[in-house]
Chains A and B, each alone.
Chain A
Amino acid sequence: MAWYIGRRLLQMVPVFLGATLLIYAMVFALPGDPVLALGGDRGLNPAVAEQIRAEFNLDKPFIVQYLLYLQGILTFDFGTTFSGRSVRDVMAEAFPVTFQLAVMALVFEAVLGVAAGLVAGLRKGRLFDATVLLVSLVVIAVPTFVIGFVLQFALGVQWRLLPPTVGGDVSFRTLLMPALVLGAVSLAYVLRLTRTSVAENLSADFVRTATAKGLSRPRVVTVHVLRNSLIPVITFLGADLGTLMGGAIVTEGIFNINGVGGTLYRAIQQGQAPTVVSLTTVLVVVYIVANLFVDLLYAALDPRIRYA
């Protein structure tokens, strides 16, 4: 087990380096000079521009810039923005909001998706199953931002059930609708995954054995069917935390949430490599760690899986 975790952690290193290098290179390759853009139409004094370049290592070759940045990251120094704020402060402001949003979306899709998927899988081919399946297909087919517009308009503006935008007031109540929208597509996938998995496991030998032993139906369904059906679902949910946080940019735009998305968008437009790369790096790390966690959960859920 320890050896397995160690190997997985080692595999994370090249992925981490590769991802940061790739993003750093992409931001470096952006057209336009970010320093000159700071001066606006009047332009900067060449001496000032030179000083800013030296301060942010922009006068050095690409690979040196990247290595200097990497050196900083290892000591948890993520650099500073052009306006002099430390990137760590920027991240400390943006991440909690996005994280809360993503976790709410994840809980929402896990609870609703598994519950509806279980019922649909147990009654495959019946009316409930067909309805739920059709609704999930439509949710997948309609882009997230359309669902966002419609819910915002209907629930927020027309019926005034929930606040239509978040702004500075970040709370469970204001984030409820954005989390619903963010998790909607994944909810449909979780539902379909659970349904297929449950329907397949219902005809498995171990379920027949459990029924033959005389176990009650609820016990067979919860302990034998559901537990085994959750394995692919958990894989999906684990990978989804990272996707939700990275994909929240659209939802954050619609509901005016000051999270990672908006911060990143502005940083990309200003060509602020340290901010962009730092925010992305955290997203990449969340993704990798969530996946590792899921793999370890496997062994707990399925006694047939053992890591040597």
Chain B
Amino acid sequence: MPDANSSTRQHQEHFFAGVDQAPLGAVDLVDESGAPANLWTDAWRDLRRRPLFWVAATLILLVVVVAAFPRLFTSQDPRFCELGNSLASPSAGHPFGYDFQGCDIYARTIYGARASVAVGVLATIAVVLIGGLVGAVAGFFGGWFDAVLSRITDIFFAIPFVLAAIVIMQMFRENRNVITVVLVITTFGWPQLARITRGAVMSVKNADFITAAKALGASRVTTLARHVMPNAAAPIIVTATVALGTFIVAEATLSFLGIGLPPEITSWGADIAKAQRSLRSQPSVLFYPAGALALTVLSFIMMGDAVRDALDPKARKR
């Protein structure tokens, strides 16, 4: 890696000693206390300089805090609705106005964050675990193992998501909650990550340092876990970050179709779906939940973009 060399050189003022001036042994005086360069510290240094990263990180932090502590942001109850306030304009203490049922839109937007963030985070964790495991095993061991796992991946990939989601959510007609939505998204979301992981593992597994690890007697599982995976992690992290955003959109789509979260759980998707009929008389009913959802998804996609650019040495040079 040319980059690694150039950054090490910064710490070493005299890289080689001229025979005439320097006494023998000057090479040993070179300062080696500087931290060794690697992909992750380089990426972090690069990331810190990107405004896009800070914008995305701030937005993500804000959404997570809102999701965890909605009471900090509003004292209103999102489920306290008075029909007398139906589609009323904003007033003091109710900056976004009221929806068709007379519920406070600001409070509903704040409380809706929790469902979206919970679905996004849980589904991403599950998808990374399952897809990562399948992809890593298929890519590393290869052979008929890979053939079987890849065909199973293909099967789940070929079935349209929305369609499968409708069937599965029908099964849970009586008890839909965040966990069932996460289950559906995971069941049909893992193949994408499995493919990415498989590709990344296959591109790493023939590297010289893997051969070295094997030659030193590392077992196959150790080689995979300690040497292959850390070096194949970059594309997985990028894909997972962007996927988190798309999973939030998926949850909203399910709620829009009426097969997502039940009405007891305040969610942006369900509020957007309900807003369709009041769109003509009061556009803000649609604007606020949709805007909050879009901003959340946008921040995760921007984060994925920033991390991808930081982790790609080719892009960094430009």
**Chain A interface (Cβ within 8 Å of chain B)?**
11, 14-15, 18-19, 22-23, 26-27, 29-31, 137-138, 140-146, 149-150, 153, 157, 242-243, 245-247, 249-250, 253, 264-265, 268-269, 276, 280, 283-284, 287-288
Contact = CB atoms under 8 A, between A and B. Distances in A.
Contacts of B158: 15, 19, 242, 284, 287-288
B154 A265 contact: no
* Most chain A beta-carbon contacts within 10 A, residue among B161, B163, B276: B163
Contacts of B152: 18
B151 A27 contact: no
B159 interface: yes
Nearest to A17: B155
A33 B63 CA distance: 43
Contacts of B244: none
B163 A246 contact: yes
B159 A140 contact: no
Contact of B302 (A137, A243, A250, A268): A137
A146 B297 contact: no
B252 interface: yes
A276 B167 contact: yes
Contacts of B1: none
Contacts of A23: 159, 164, 167
A180 to B, nearest CB: 18
B280 A153 contact: yes
Given A14-B151, A141-B298, A146 B162 contact: no
Interface in B257-295: 257, 269, 272-273, 275-276, 279-280, 283, 286, 290, 293-295
Contact of A22 (B155, B162, B275): B155
Chain B contact surface mostly: helix
A31 B173 contact: yes
B260 to A, nearest CB: 12
B253 A250 contact: yes
B215 interface: no
A241 to B, nearest CB: 12
B115 interface: no
A196 to B, nearest CB: 9
B257 A250 contact: yes
A30 B302 CA distance: 39
Contact of B160 (A22, A137, A142, A247): A247
Interface of B: 151-152, 154-156, 158-164, 166-168, 170-171, 173-174, 245, 249, 252-253, 256-257, 269, 272-273, 275-276, 279-280, 283, 286, 290, 293-295, 297-298, 301-302
A200 to B, nearest CB: 8
Which of A15, A22, A31, A246 counts the most B-chain CB atoms under 10 A from its CB?
Answer: A15
Nearest to B272: A146
B297 A140 contact: yes
B163 A280 contact: yes
B155 A19 contact: yes
17 contacts: A11-B154, A19-B158, A137-B298, A137-B302, A138-B294, A140-B298, A141-B249, A141-B301, A143-B249, A146-B294, A153-B279, A157-B280, A242-B160, A246-B162, A249-B166, A264-B166, A283-B160
Given A18-B151, A149-B286, A288-B158, A143 B253 contact: yes
